[in-house]
Amino acid sequence: MTSKRRILYTVTMQYVFGLLLLFMIGATLGWCLELVYRRFVSSKKWINPGFLNGPYLPLYGFGVCLLYGICSIPMPLWAQIVFIVVMMTVIEYIAGLIFIVGMHIKLWDYSKQWGNIQGIICPLYSLFWGALGVLFLFFVYPFLHHAVDWLAATPWFLFILGLFYGVMLIDVAVSFQFAVRLRRALAELKAAVRYEELKRRIHADRKAEHKRASFLFPFKTDKPIRAYLAEMVSGVKAAIHKKDKDTADDINELQENHTTEE
């Protein structure tokens, strides 16, 4: 190998290891952020967030890699901010669409938010991602810009990267196998369910039976998963039926009042 090829190989590998490092940092910190958000804002409980079992969320890993790339592009500050908001919204939409269409699984649901599109994205959360992106641009990127190259060239840290991705790949295989089982059951029921609602139901069920609920393996249960899915789907259908009935009653009442006035 010539000196030029050796230099090119070294630079390329450092770049690849840098991206892997960014993904690991983003996925891990994103998991921590979502964990705290669910505990103190949305669910008010400690719930293992996301599709995988381990402490990482790939969506945040891809998001951090994307943010790092955008911050590295020389452009006006306002253009960087707009680009960050748009691209974070796009990546969230693509990820949500893949799971809803491909797996019949809702990892999140913005259906109650104003201006939402298919319950996957909405203006409010686009602003949240934009705010996080701006914080990344001003406070995180300057630090990572110097730290990534140094860490990517550090032998002991490469071992940590290998360990992280080895565990995560096994987790991905196990989680997708479970997701395929869910998809088959949901295809028969002709519905989609919220992933975290299923976790909450299993957790509550095990607590009621005085059994230990697993945090890292939230789908561990003695009861068939399909039974939980059937309960969830029937509950949703019942709520929709009640809503439709209430709407019909309101329309009938308005019509009766109108007739009386005439």
Encode pLDDT of 14-64 as tens digits. 778 888 889 999 999 999 999 999 889 887 888 899 889 999 999 999 999
> Global pTM?
0.82
Using pLDDT thresholds of 50, 70 and 90, give the confidence band for residue 251. Answer: very low
Cα 88 to Cα 34, 50, 61, 95: the distances in Å are 16, 17, 12, 11
Mean pLDDT, residues 197-223: 84
**Going by C-beta distance under 8 Å and a sequence separation of 6 or more, which residues neighbour residue 21?**
148, 151, 152, 157, 161
Contact between 231 and 237 (Cβ < 8 Å): no
Following DSSP, what letter does each residue of the chain receive, concatenated? --HHHHHHHHHHHHHHHHHHHHHHHHHHHHHHHHHHHIIIIISSS----SSSSSS--HHHHHHHHHHHHHHHS---HHHHHHHHHHHHHHHHHHHHHHHHHHH-EES---TTSTT-BTTTB-HHHHHHHHHHHHHIIIIIHHHHHHHHHHHHT-HHHHHHHHHHHHHHHHHHHHHHHHHHHHHHHHHHHT--EEHHHHHHHHHHHHHHTT-PPPSSSTT--SS-HHHHHHHHHHHHHHHHHHHHHHHHHHHHHHHHHHHHH-
* Nearest CA-CA partner of 178 in 115, 221, 242: 221
111-166 tens-digit pLDDT: 889 999 999 999 999 999 889 888 998 988 888 877 777 776 677 788 888 999 99
2-21 tens-digit pLDDT: 677 777 777 777 778 888 88
Using pLDDT thresholds of 50, 70 and 90, give the confidence band for residue 171. Answer: very high
Q: What are phi and psi of 193, to 5 degrees?
A: -125, 160
